[in-house]
Structure 1
């Protein structure tokens, strides 16, 4: 467990480059200094052999780590955040000092520390001397140092391990993140207790999600037609409606403004939300249906989805009504949930945004599923929560790995906090542009905490509903991201749109704490 006592066991080894340079002194030295540099993303036996061989060549072994910001070798790397990577290396007896290098290459620190030996892995000789290795060699030899390559008779790969059998270290990564932010599990619990005083106004498209469950009878003999027998139908309020229900379940005082048709589906929505404590206001448009998405399920598989929807823009009369409501409803937080079913489009968004009260905390989510929403149309918001696909759509970027993708979206959106949802891989949070190479906490990752995924659809709505009030109350992106991720995990473990309750999240926190304490 990453606590003060554990940290003290290795903290004497965790230093900056300047601190190490001061401790070891200038060349020539009585004691020989060896330096290794790498990612060390999942420490494996090959790393241990590399470090032990390097230590055998001298007296003081320095392990230098590439900072998270400069690891671009795969889409979701590093797998292990830099603080935990440093902790892992510091726990090795052979390693005397560990530093996180904020620069893309170790050249500057080689020149500052002037190790007597700079050790590289044997794999760096496989295809001749790489230009970066040649640059390191030149820097080392410039002051009289030596570049060596450690033996490579047994080859291991962090990338191979991560891609084929990633270790389950979500709890350890969470503990490292909380410790770095001077937080603990009680910090998370305490925020949940403060939700009840918040006034939240949710504006967005209501969707009724239907699950039509059937049994498979067979296939047609003359046409490729699947034959199923109807068993049951279950309706759930979804879209912006479930965001409102999640927020109400969390304890906030919710006002919900939306547009419905004049039909039986609308009556279901009114009845469902009428049973909650949500202050519900629906503008009726008799010329459009209430959006309904009916998934045909057989043998646990989604066979087909039938949508009853009109995506045309809302008429001017309804737009004016929504603008008046946004401007007049007292709210600490205003949440725009954009499913592109009529309320939000290029024409309406500027007017709706302008109506938000000046003091309100502004939150937006824009979906790219059956419709093309663009999160960049919500400029300057306090919090946005797109998923990776939505980020790629907004930027027109299908190639970048996640971290630079999120950084660019953060810059273009001019938001204060971005929670980039990554599905089963959790999320990556961005909370400021790096002010320098040393600013390594402008982004961080939180793993998924789902234990048994039953239905992941709608988990992003649950994340939004808990992250937004947490961010408003604390201004701390770590607390918001963790509580949001926990809420999403709870939502994943139920079929259909079921509001997440604080007790569900508290149970998750309790289990994580027990895991952290090995109980």
Structure 2
């Protein structure tokens, strides 16, 4: 038995238990619009490429994409978030319906638009991204509705994912409400964090910054294992959460545990090729939450999430991972 196969023994069984596991996802929902085309010339009007558009596709983004990833690997997501009373919001809800994900937890706001990100792609290369969004906190009315949606489903879940893209749904008041409602219940909380909100995540089970976010928060330039370890220890101390899982691009992930900061777990990357990192963080928190909800240790849950992230970056666009794909790559140990 190889070292990888020994380490991975038991992980496929955890993934098989994902089926039907309910996870509450709360956060910023987005619609990712992809316009695909061909680029064969430069515009005579300005030094920019001319793209002949051939196809337009909608993908779920942010908290909605976390939900799609949970669904794809067999879980049952309960999505709580906000969309605008607009055409992108209708398209987002339609995309949820196509994936058999309920939109009952979505609040339709009359005071803010649906976050829309449009990516124009030619010859498999992203040319430009156009964003339509606001960053203001929710109105009192919308905030109250979000709390009501959260309270209505929390008793039935094994984990909560907080998808914080800084678009207004997640703030100090919402996170305090989440902590107050969960109380001493054994419900795991997984956070995809926003740099400006790190001080809000005290007491959460695990936060999952990438190495650039960790560098920014700690003011430490992460270039090797020594600086990575310093950053992880600093985050554990500063944030006050139970665990920090830092994603490190082609170098994999590093797990830091409160009380064991001097013993980080370095997890090697598994991706064979990287085509698109869009939404990879959503995949990681989705799979991490399902593993924790099914009793996995934080180390095993992180290893499974690392495999999932390695699969999704090999796909174009905002993508998901299938349970069968995840089990297969874990069993191969690569």
TM-score (norm 2): 0.90
Deviations 1:13-34 (A, max 9, x none): xxxxxxxxxxxxxxxxxxxxxx
Pairing 1:277-288 to 2, within 5 Å after superposition: 277-280=100-103, 281-288=105-112
Name the SS for the 2:221 alignment partner. Answer: coil
Which shows bigger deviation, 302-311 or 278-287? 278-287
Determine if the alignment matches structure 1 residue 509 to structure 2 residue 330.
yes
Query: Could you say which residue in structure 2 is the equivalent of 1:34?
Result: none
User: Is the contact between residue 210 and residue 236 of structure 1 (CA under 8 Å) also seen in structure 2?
Assistant: yes
1:322 aligns with 2:322: no
Answering whether residue 46 of structure 2 is matched by residue 223 of structure 1, we say: yes
| Contact 1:248–1:278, Cα closer than 8 Å, also in 2 | yes
Shift of 1:452: 2.2
1:262-286, Cα deviation, whole Å (9 max, x unpaired):
1111111111112334333210112
1:152-182, Cα deviation, whole Å (9 max, x unpaired): xxxxxxxxxxxxxxxxxxxx5x457x2xxxx
What are structure 1's unaligned runs of at least 5 residues?
3-171, 179-183
Find the partner of 1:377 among 193, 197, 200.
Answer: 200
Query: What is residue 455 of structure 1 aligned with on the other side?
Result: 276
How many angstroms apart in 2 are the aligned matches of 1:429 and 1:246?
22
Asked whether the equivalents of residues 5 and 331 of structure 2 are also in contact (C-alpha less than 8 Å), the reply is no
Q: Structure 1 residue 475: deviation in Å?
A: 4.5
**Is this contact kept in 2: 1:322–1:352, CA < 8 A?**
no
Larger radius of gyration: 1
Q: Which residue of 2 aligns with 1:364?
A: 191
Q: Does 1:430 align with 2:253?
A: no
Counterpart for residue 417 of structure 1: 243
The one-character-per-residue Cα deviations of 1:274-312 (angstroms, maximum 9, x if unpaired) are: 233433321011222111111121222222110011111
What is the CA distance between 1:344 and its match in structure 2? 1.6
Alpha carbons of 1:301 and 1:275: their partners in 2 closer, same or farther (altered >3 Å)?
A: closer
Map 1:166-315 → 2, pairs under 5 A: 174=4, 178=7, 184-185=8-9, 187-221=10-44, 223-280=46-103, 281-315=105-139
Asked whether the equivalents of residues 5 and 332 of structure 2 are also in contact (C-alpha less than 8 Å), the reply is no
Distance in 2 (CA, whole Å) between partners of 1:474 and 1:220 is: 56
The answer on 1:335 being equivalent to 2:161 is: yes
Aligned match for 1:396, one of 196, 212, 219: 219
What per-residue deviation string (whole Å, max 9, x for no partner) do you get for residues 81-131 of structure 1? xxxxxxxxxxxxxxxxxxxxxxxxxxxxxxxxxxxxxxxxxxxxxxxxxxx
> Structure 1-normalised TM-score?
0.59
Q: What is the alpha-carbon distance in structure 2 between the residues aligned to residue 212 and residue 277 of structure 1?
A: 24
TM alignment of 1:449-488, pairs within 5 A: 449-488=270-309
Deviation at 1:376, TM superposition (A): 3.3
TM-fit CA distance, 1:224: 2.2
Q: CA deviation at 1:446?
A: 0.9
Partner SS state of residue 321, structure 2? coil
Between stretches 258-267 and 351-360, larger displacement belongs to 351-360
Q: Which secondary structure state, in structure 1, belongs to the residue aligned with residue 294 of structure 2?
A: helix
CA deviation profile, 1:486-507 (whole Å, cap 9, x unmatched) = 1111111211223211101112
Larger relative contact order (CA 8 Å, sep ≥ 6): 2
Question: Deviation at 1:434?
Answer: 3.5
TM-fit CA distance, 1:253: 2.4
1:196 CA displacement: 2.5
Q: Which residue of 1 aligns with 2:233?
A: 407
Cα pair 2:171 2:197 within 8 Å, conserved? no
Name the SS for the 1:420 alignment partner.
Answer: strand
The aligned length equals 327
Tell me if structure 2 keeps the 8 A contact 1:375–1:386. Answer: no
Summarize the alignment of residues 7-22 of structure 1 with structure 2, pairs less than 5 Å apart: none
SS of the residue 1:457 aligns to: coil
CA contact (8 A) 1:365 1:375 kept: no
Structure 2 residue matching 1:424: 3-state secondary structure: helix
Separation in 2, partners of 1:357, 1:434: 25
